[in-house]
Amino acid sequence: MRFVLAFLFSLVLIGCSDGGYEPTVKYSKTIFKEPVLVHVKIDPEDPDTGEYLQDEITKMAINRLNLRTTKDVNEAKNYILVNIYTINTTPTNKDDKGNVIRYSVNAAIKFATQDKYGFWSKNIVASEYVPVKAKSSISESAKEKASRVAIKKALDEYVYAVIQRGQKMAKKHAKEDKQGNAPQNSSNTDTQNMQNSNMDTQSNSLGQENNDSSLSDNSDILNSSSVSDTNMEDSDALNIKVVDTQDESMKLVMPDTDTDENNISEVSGY
């Protein structure tokens, strides 16, 4: 029996390596430049959760996304930041007498990510449920344990978001490569040649002064086109700055972005 199970498991591994299954690391490497800075802004009202988040997100980046991380903001090429997190508890089920018999422990985390394609945010709410006896409240130890489970679920959702973004960018690149390699038909080629000829004629008729002016204009266009693929509103929203670089407890400051209701994921379990 053990031999049969081992054989079946080997077949699964071979099938994954031959195609169909794409490892998470493929997509994380598609969108991230290394090293990556992981930073959680500690909430003074709940520092324990913040420290736990810092450790778990760093482990996620290293072990699941296979990214090289750094604590030096000046060395970092990309960022995974959490400026807002909260843990709350809500009653979810009651018995016939109206006594609460189950609570939901919710972890709400707002991820702000800067990858090589720009800035994006992800708001995730994950829950874990805790049964209690009638007329009893949830204990602090049970709440803490459930919050840890909820946080792990939230990190699973973030990893899935990375995979989705990686797939999107990979498809975009494949489409662009296909279009770039597509042969032009003769009519398009003739039209392009005619346009080039007209441009050469106009260029020759211009004086040196106009040439200098157009060169300056083209320089401005080149400078602006270098950031044309980046959403400037989102890029400005990131606004990462170093505060007091001489201090070892160097902090990152990032203004909060507005919550997008369409970008909120809910994960729950029993």
SS3 labels along 117-156: CEEEEEEEEEEEEEECCCCCCCCHHHHHHHHHHHHHHHHH
Q: How are beta strands 69-70 and 36-40 bridged, if at all?
A: parallel
- Gap between the Cα atoms of 173 and 31, Å rounded: 12
In a domain, 240, yes or no: no
pLDDT value at position 121?
96
Sign of CA dihedral 152, 26, 67, 109: negative
In a domain, 79, yes or no: yes
In a domain, 218, yes or no: no
pLDDT value at position 23?
83
Nearest to 39 by CA among 233, 235, 243, 227: 243
- Spell out the per-residue pLDDT of the chain, length 270, in tens: 555 445 444 544 444 434 444 689 999 999 999 999 999 999 999 999 999 999 999 999 999 999 999 999 999 999 999 999 999 999 999 999 999 999 999 999 999 999 999 999 999 999 999 999 999 999 999 999 999 999 999 999 999 999 999 999 999 988 888 887 765 554 455 555 555 555 554 444 434 444 443 323 333 322 222 222 333 333 333 344 333 333 333 334 343 444 343 343 444 443
In a domain, 250, yes or no: no
Structure tokens at 217: 């204009």
In a domain, 171, yes or no: yes
- Gap between the Cα atoms of 156 and 56, Å rounded: 11
Sheet holding 78-94, edge to edge: 69-70, 36-40, 78-94, 100-115, 118-131, 264-269
pLDDT value at position 193?
54
Looking up tokens 């990858």, which residue turns up? 115
44 half-sphere exposure, CB direction, 13 A CA radius: 0
pLDDT value at position 178?
81
Nearest to 35 by CA among 81, 71, 83, 59: 71
In a domain, 235, yes or no: no
In a domain, 104, yes or no: yes
In a domain, 229, yes or no: no
Q: What is the dihedral of CA 236, 51, 138, 131, to 10 degrees?
A: 80
Q: How are beta strands 78-94 and 100-115 bridged, if at all?
A: antiparallel
Per the structure, how many domains does the chain have? Answer: 1
Where in the sequence is the domain holding 146, given as residue range(s)?
A: 33-175+260-269
pLDDT value at position 176?
85
Query: CATH no. for residue 129?
Result: 3.30.160.150
Q: Angle 219-224-228 (CA atoms, 0-180°, nearest 5)? A: 145
Beta strands in the chain (DSSP E): 36-40, 69-70, 78-94, 100-115, 118-131, 241-243, 251-253, 264-269
